[in-house]
Structure 1
Amino acid sequence: MYDSKILPVEEMLAYEEFTDRVEILRELEAWVKNIQRMASPSTAIIAPRRMGKTVLLDRLVNIVFFKPEYQVAPFYFRMKREKTILREFLLEYASIFFRQYIAYCHQDPVLFQNSSVKLEDLLQHTSEHKAVRLAQNMIHEFLNRYYGKNKDTRNHWDAFIRVPEMLASFSGIRAAVIIDEFQDMKFYVYDTSHDHFMEMGAKGLLTDQGAVNLTATYDRQSQSRKAPMLVSGSAVTLIFRTVMGGPLGGRFDFTYLKPLSIPDGAALLHQLLDIYLPDAVISPDKALYASAQTGGHPYYIYCLAMSKYENKKFDTIESIDRLIHYEIEQGKIFGFWQTHFQDNKKYINTDKDEALGKKIIYYFTKYNNEPVEIKEIADKLNVSDKAVEDKIEKLYLADLVWRTKARYYAFNDICLMRFIKFVYQKDLDGIEDIDLSQKHLFNNLKGRFLELAVQVTMMKFNNETLEGKFFGKTGNIQVPLFQFVDTKYTKGSTTRSYQIDVYAVEKKGNGAWICECKYTRTKMSIKQLKKLENAARALKQEAEDLGLAVPKIQMWLVSTGGFTRETMEYLINRKDIYFSDHQGINSIFRAYGGNYNIPVFKDS
């Protein structure tokens, strides 16, 4: 599709660079689709910078724009960090909305992206489309008021906030109000004349406090079901406070955008090297190692692929370690976080006791992707809990920590922790070394990778039809959309406890899949097969014990070493058991974005 069509939004990445995000794209597309039946509340996507939110929104708009059957026009506004006056901002905002709305109605992607088209030009469009004619009437009313004698810009802005909902209600073509970097609408727009704005700017008096907080004006719009809002923000603390407190409090759902899974991070690295360094060679296990060492963070993986390190290689674990070390201490990752620390120095480096402040930050690094143990740090440094909590609160304001359920958590960002260690350790004497190598994670990953790859792949299933031979069957097999995929322990009242490597519940109906994975070069025996059958019986017994509907279970055996003759003879007559060898699971893995073969590690 993307090769043959002009897209309404020019994406910042090559199409092939977009990796994973299947589940969240599916959820967001469903959010847009459900607006027509007024079943989608306003929601927010929250993620640290460089996690890929804008790329995600770009892709979402490009998908739903070409879905006229949804009858939902995407209005996509990217908030720029440029100071301006409200009157000029209002005209820009209104022009983008009407242009994009009409473009959707006419399925015209060129109009959608053509910022040179003015509101007066849109009035000249000849159209028999009811929604377009209504939009043109509203444009006419807007221009009469905008260029009229009464320059009540603030009142005009407040009135225009309701226009997407009104147009959606009158025309039947709903709207999805999508605003990127929503929190910045607090700081860059000033309700003043152009001359006064220029004078204040020349004197350096255009402060954040003097700007209009436009986010607060969406208090009514954020409750709309005909034109709900989808907003995003990379200032995690600020966007969270914006949508969960003040005038908007209680009006938004929200979700955190996480790093890529380790398998998908490896796929991204393979893809980037194919595009930008076609002569580079990296084996699947080394790509997995690099992904694990960067926590699957898409920007860090990009930094490795594009690094200026002179001896850049991906052939050994040691060469990848050297590359990561370079990037964190003097490459793009260093520059990214150095800038962030400079921008937030009022929170990070202002302490009555500077040495203590640095020590607290240093010891904070050991809690990567874990709750920060304030008492443990306080005991380590022999200071009060309050002193540590005050510092962690400042790190929260600087977007180095996130908070939920009254606790602080360190972001899942091992490269950030390594940067902090590099910056602060050299200024501190006599402190213990904190190991941030992640090698324990990789060793664990090697043992569990097949289960993880199967889980990640099953989460991408969406009622597609796959060749039955991938599952040891003839014909074709339709795979379901799952509500969730995870590991599970099950035990019935008359059975023992069983661990299920992969357990998935179908979105519709009462179906469940259970999977047994064997990740070695030896063949799977009848013993593992019987274990899965016993787990299925325990799962059904557990449901009966709890008074729940007994699930219809699909069993699936996955073995990189294949299956013994006895096992194969048994499976031939069992239609309710799928089985995939190394070639079969690789084919399924590749069908859902995997661009490398699942490795079988030597020490497995």
Structure 2
Amino acid sequence: MLRIPKKLNFALEEQVGPPELFVGRQKEFSWFLGGWYDNLIRGKPKSQAIVARRKKGKTVFLQRLFNVHWTAHNPEVIPFYFTIPEIRTTQAEFAKLFLRALINQLVAFEMNEPQLVTKPVAFEEIPAITQDPVYLEYHRALLSYEKISNWNMMWDSASRAPSEIASLRDLRIIQIIDEFQYINEYVVDQGGKVIDTMSGTYLTLAEQRKAPLIVSGSEVHWLLRIVNGLVGRFDSWSMENWPEDEAKQAVIQYAKHYQTRVDKEAIEHIWKLTQGDPLYISQLFSSRHNEKKNFTDPLVITEVYEKEMKQGGGIYGTWMEYMAKIFKDVNESNAKRIILYLFQQARECTRAEIIQDLKLKESEQQVQEKLQALIKADLISQGSGFYRYTISRDKTYEWVFRGAFQEEIDHFVPDIRSEALSQMGIRNYEIGLFGEFKLRRKLQKGFYLNEIAKNGPQIWVDPHPIQERVPKKIENQTFEIDLIVESDPEIWIEVKTLKKKFGKTQLRRILQLHQALSKTAKAPILFVYAPGGFTKEASEELQKHGILYGM
């Protein structure tokens, strides 16, 4: 087992930014620095494929894994990190890019020169940084094959270099290759045609015990198709959200970095809202809409989060990358209807159910092709059977989709903010509990009456204990008071619904309470809080009777 050094040397720059923003991943480290590492030392590792959608933290984990090995600096275990570019690249250039990165990093590790990792020299300049005859022989081989336009041999030589060097020198070279799915999509031959069999290189190389691979990719089903094609060569590792303890630690770290106030309740709310998704937590704090820098108010959390889920937001943009790819290739309208249907059903559905309930006019084969296309785009998933389908229980994904398309599909505009509040655990806010919660936060800090009430005097009230839902017997009548501020005089507060305006029906009870209080020796201040607003008649009556009101 390899222990993570207390102080890391960051030879490879990490996309996470400041190192303290890397949080958790204990489960992953326990395997890749524990059982898998032990197997590597014993000469029996198996290549691994880490799969997860975009911005789940795969890349930053692999970069941190590289830096852990770099810092530990076991001379017999050398990490090698390479990202396959998402651009069209000739096979010749790809081979040179790969070998350039490999030799730069091997020399960097041997000489403890991290700048060769962050700023590798060009392929042509490799002889200037090393006189190692083995490295130079690979360099000369690629140049020779390039002169005779034998691009296949260029890649063959480059791809075999890690395992051959490891075997020759009795080393372990950990090949960490990010965005592996692009290997079959962007490398072209001399005629400009994509070589969709490039991954076949690893049918043999993935089994080389001294240079195993750890590959990752953000197009889940795309990568799995490649890995499954390399039968038995890779074990798949699904990178999930942070577990609760790590997610809450991430909230604390991000709050500190982005100078945003959080407390215990805010941390709990953000956990429930994001379910520990690294993208969602990161976007919430880094958002340009996080102007108030105060997430102790749940409304501020939902306000920022909602904007991130709309056009222009980072969460919206990430999900739209997936949707845009598929909607241009299939019947867009029906594809959207299928996704919404699966969200609404919240269970596995058969192809027959989908066709029947949505009254699709396409043939079973056409619907099947559409469903498979949605699976390949990582928008839905295969269920327990070949003709059964389901969709992620990711509420944020659902909100992004429904916010963008539901009105178009079934003419219904979803109340995303209300649902987000419910997801955070504020489930009964529509009947006043959330308005009560928000108001209580304000009252606990001390306040001027005219800050909370439209018709309140400019009188300061120091922080006092606040009672909730207190039954009070007055003149043989019992009234339950939502909030009582134990000041002198006391302030009795009635909290009404968020959505409906305070009107005639609610007014009747308040006037009854006011009348009963008027007969007492020391009447409290009566205040009505209605975030939904007041009807004209209600506001005039409250004003007339000297009852404070606000929203």
Same fold flag (TM > 0.5): yes
Residues 218-367 of structure 1: pairs in structure 2 closer than 5 A: 218-245=202-229, 248-276=230-258, 278=259, 280-309=260-289, 313-330=294-311, 331-347=313-329, 350=331, 354=333, 356-366=334-344
State the distance in 2 between where 1:99 and 1:402 align. 41
Q: What RMSD in Å do the two structures reach over aligned CA positions? A: 3.2
Where 1:20 maps in the other structure, the secondary structure is: coil
Where 2:42 maps in the other structure, the secondary structure is: coil
Name the residue aligned to 2:183.
185
State the distance in 2 between where 1:97 and 1:404 align. 41
CA distance 1:322–1:84, shift in 2 (3 Å): same
Report how far residue 320 of structure 1 moved. Answer: 1.9
Residue deviations 1:11-43 (CA, integer Å, cap 9, x gap): 112111111111102312233453232221111
Q: Which amino acid aligns with 1:264?
A: E
Say whether 1:414 aligns with 2:395: yes
Say whether 1:29 aligns with 2:27: no
Q: Which amino acid aligns with 1:138?
A: E
Give the number of aligned pairs.
415
Which structure 1 residue ranges, 5 or more long, are not aligned? 127-132, 197-205, 446-604
Name the residue aligned to 2:118.
113
State the distance in 1 between where 2:70 and 2:383 align. 35
Q: Which amino acid aligns with 2:336?
A: K
Where 1:179 maps in the other structure, the secondary structure is: strand
Name the residue aligned to 1:572.
none
State the distance in 2 between where 1:36 and 1:444 align. 51
Say whether 1:139 aligns with 2:121: no
Report how far residue 275 of structure 1 moved. Answer: 0.9
Report how far residue 405 of structure 1 moved. Answer: 5.0
State the distance in 1 between where 2:13 and 2:105 align. 14
Where 1:344 maps in the other structure, the secondary structure is: helix
Report how far residue 68 of structure 1 moved. Answer: 3.4
State the distance in 1 between where 2:351 and 2:268 align. 33
CA contact (8 A) 1:262 1:292 kept: no
State the distance in 1 between where 2:359 and 2:254 align. 47
Report how far residue 82 of structure 1 moved. Answer: 1.9
Residues 492-571 of structure 1: pairs in structure 2 closer than 5 A: none
Q: Which amino acid aligns with 1:178?
A: I
State the distance in 2 between where 1:422 and 1:434 align. 9
Residue deviations 1:189-210 (CA, integer Å, cap 9, x gap): 2222xxx7xxxxxxxxx6xx63
Report how far residue 377 of structure 1 moved. Answer: 4.5
Residue deviations 1:30-66 (CA, integer Å, cap 9, x gap): 3345323222111100000111111111000000122
Name the residue aligned to 1:12.
15
State the distance in 2 between where 1:262 and 1:90 align. 42
Which of 358, 361, 369 aligns to 1:381? It is 358
Provide the identity percentage.
27
State the distance in 1 between where 2:80 and 2:371 align. 38
State the distance in 1 between where 2:354 and 2:292 align. 39
Report how far residue 365 of structure 1 moved. Answer: 1.9
CA contact (8 A) 1:365 1:421 kept: no
State the distance in 2 between where 1:116 and 1:412 align. 46
State the distance in 2 between where 1:115 and 1:19 align. 28
CA contact (8 A) 2:176 2:215 kept: yes
Residue deviations 1:410-438 (CA, integer Å, cap 9, x gap): 23422111111112211133679799936
Where 1:299 maps in the other structure, the secondary structure is: helix
Report how far residue 221 of structure 1 moved. Answer: 0.5
Residues 357-506 of structure 1: pairs in structure 2 closer than 5 A: 357-366=335-344, 371-372=348-349, 374=351, 377-378=354-355, 380-382=357-359, 386=364, 389-403=368-382, 405-406=384-385, 407-429=388-410, 437=419, 442-443=424-425
CA contact (8 A) 1:42 1:229 kept: yes
CA contact (8 A) 1:281 1:315 kept: yes
Name the residue aligned to 2:66.
61
State the distance in 2 between where 1:323 and 1:427 align. 24
Q: Which amino acid aligns with 2:104?
A: R
CA distance 1:142–1:32, shift in 2 (3 Å): farther
Residue deviations 1:434-453 (CA, integer Å, cap 9, x gap): 999366765599xxxxxxxx
User: What is the TM-score when the length of structure 2 is the normalising length?
Assistant: 0.67
User: What is the TM-score when the length of structure 1 is the normalising length?
Assistant: 0.62
Report how far residue 397 of structure 1 moved. Answer: 1.9
State the distance in 2 between where 1:49 and 1:418 align. 18
CA contact (8 A) 1:360 1:388 kept: no
State the distance in 1 between where 2:405 and 2:326 align. 16
CA contact (8 A) 1:41 1:223 kept: yes
Which structure 2 residue ranges, 5 or more long, are not aligned? 428-551
Q: Which amino acid aligns with 1:318?
A: L
